[in-house]
Each structure stands twice: as C-alpha cells, then as structure tokens.
Amino acid sequence: MDISVIIPLYNEAESLPELEAWIHRVMEANKFSYEIIFVNDGSTDNSFEVIRELQKKNPAVKGISFRRNYGKSPALNTGFRRAQGDVVITMDADLQDSPDEIPELYRMITEDNYDVVSGWKQKRYDPLSKTIPTKLFNATARRVSGIHNLHDFNCGLKAYKQKVVRRLEVYGDMHRYIPYLAKNLGFNRIGEKIVHHQARKYGSSKFGLDRFVNGYLDLLTLWFTNKFGKKPMHFFGLLGSLMFMLGFIAVICVGAIKLYNLTHGLHYTLVTDSPYFYISLVTMLLGTQLFLTGFLGELIVRNSSSRNEYEIDEEI
C-alpha cells in the first residue's frame, strides 16, 4: 500500500464526508493505493456513524473509536500502530488541511528521501490570539530541539516514512513535538513544505489558550528526558554539588569569622546572627535533596525495561 492517511477527530461529523470525498479524489487522480484511518477520539456527536456510512461506500476507509476522549496524541498513536502504507500522512479532520498536498508530500518522502515532512501553514487563517503565541512557541521549540529549519512544529499535516511511524510513540500532548521526537530517535532528515490552510468551516477548535502553557511544560520535559533520561544523576548531581559547595563555603566563612573574632578578642556574635548561616543551611539541604533525587532517578532508570534499548539502523 502506498499511503495511509491518519485522521484524529473529536466531534467533527459535518466535515468528514467532504474530507473523505476529497482524499478519495486526490488518491484516484494520482493512482495511489491507500487507506484512511479515522480515529474517533470519543466524540459525543455522531462522527462514528458518519464513518460507518463512509466505509460502506469506500472500503479504503477504516475506523477506530475510543470509548472516551483521550486527546489528539493518543489518537495519533493508535493510528500509527495500525498504519500499513509506505508513507503515512496525518491530517486534521476539520478541513483546515488540504488533501491536495498529499502527492507532493508523498514525493518528498519517497524521492527526496525525507524521514519526516512537516507542513508549514505560512498563511494561517486562525485568530490572532492563536497566531502570535504560536510564533513564540515555534521559536522556542526550534531552539530547544535544534531543528532550525522548521517553522511550524504543531501542523496537523505531516508525512512520515513507515519506519519512522513504527518507532514513534506519542502520548500526553506530545503531538506538538513529533519532529523533535523523531529527531531523538535518530531520524534526522526532517523537511518542511508550505501548505495551504483554511479557516475552520464547521465546528470549533478543540484547544484553548492553555495549549501554550502545556506546550512549554512538555518541551521542558522532552528536553530533560532526551538529555538526561538515561543518566539523571548527571543533572541532579551537578546541581546538587553546586548547591552543596555553595553551602559548604558559606559555613566555612561563618566558622572562620567566628573563630577569628574569638581568638583575637574581638567583638563576636552568635553564628545564627549571620545571613551566611542561613544561606549555608538552605543550600546544603537543597544540595542533599537534589542528590537524593538523582539517586532515585538512577534507581528508576535501572529498573526501566528500555534502559538498554537503542535505535539500530542497519545490521549486516
């Protein structure tokens, strides 16, 4: 099979027939063999009934339905596990992404040999409250992930090689950082294609402004797990040592000043009158805590089944 199209959806019943017809048209025109995997993320409208009807007309349509709403990432992940096409394409269900992009995306994966191609909604038809924070979000993501050529990490329209999708595991809200996840798996050929974007025709957006707060937190998590996930002590140990040293120096200062004053018959005060005493107390405690966290982290890693799993590209 040439192409799997994965479409996560949550209450998008009105859009689905149009979307399916459009994809079908594009696939026929380009003579692709394909499947469309609709992942119904616990919709409360009749989305899945619509998918059932679509399947009766077109056997390339497949549907999976969650019993409740989990989020876009779990929906995508479930689709990834099922996809059989050589090239896997994800798109949103709301008709904001255009199926006309599929042939070029397919070409970029198969001929230009990209592992991942991400869409770039250069001209967006979304409210300003969304486009401005998005610019900031993408700039941060570019810096942290080191993927400098991407403008739009969270575009729903993306294409992947089958082998990338087999390894990708998306959970929580991590769909925003799929290129970063792919890069962490060693898939370095990440490209971008400018795609057409349309205003939402039916229904309403499923994400509010909290997406930006959660987005930053997830980025921090990814950065941390990628860098220190298998050696947490290198992170906590360094911070802990710095803290502890700071405290240690402060405590020496406090003691030395007191001793000096005592032995030279100068005026002296209680050590608890010195601010250094409190600084040393706090930093030494924090340092110890950080060390303990590091040790706990190491114990967790030691017990994880993936501690010795690596991405093997080839074997001869």
Binding footprint of ligand UDP on the chain (CB under 6 A): 8-10, 12, 41, 69, 71-72, 75, 92-94, 96, 156, 205-207
Helix axes 210-228, 232-263, angle to 10 degrees: 90
Question: In the complex with ligand UDP, which residue's Cβ is closer, 172 or 229?
Answer: 172
Residues in 74-93 at the binding interface with Mg ion, rule: CB under 5 A: 92
Task: State in Å, rounded, how far the first CA of the chain is from the last one.
Answer: 27
Question: In the complex with ligand UDP, which residue's Cβ is closer, 35 or 277?
Answer: 35
Which residues in the chain belong to E strands, given as ranges?
3-9, 34-40, 61-65, 87-90, 116-120, 158-161, 190-194
Question: In the complex with Mg ion, which residue's Cβ is closer, 20 or 92?
Answer: 92
**Is 283 one of the binding residues for Mg ion (CB under 5 A)?**
no
The binder of 72, among ligand UDP, Mg ion, none, by C-beta within 5 to 8 A per type, is ligand UDP
The binder of 12, among ligand UDP, Mg ion, none, by C-beta within 5 to 8 A per type, is ligand UDP
Q: How far is C-alpha 258 from the geometric centre of its chain's CA atoms?
A: 54
Question: In the complex with ligand UDP, which residue's Cβ is closer, 86 or 126?
Answer: 126
* 116-120: strand order across its sheet: 61-65, 34-40, 3-9, 87-90, 158-161, 116-120, 190-194
Instruction: Tell me the C-alpha distance between 258 and 271, whole Å.
Output: 7
155 close to 197: Cβ distance less than 8 angstroms: no
The binder of 258, among ligand UDP, Mg ion, none, by C-beta within 5 to 8 A per type, is none
The binder of 35, among Mg ion, ligand UDP, none, by C-beta within 5 to 8 A per type, is none
**Chain positions contacting Mg ion, by CB under 5 A:** 92, 94, 96
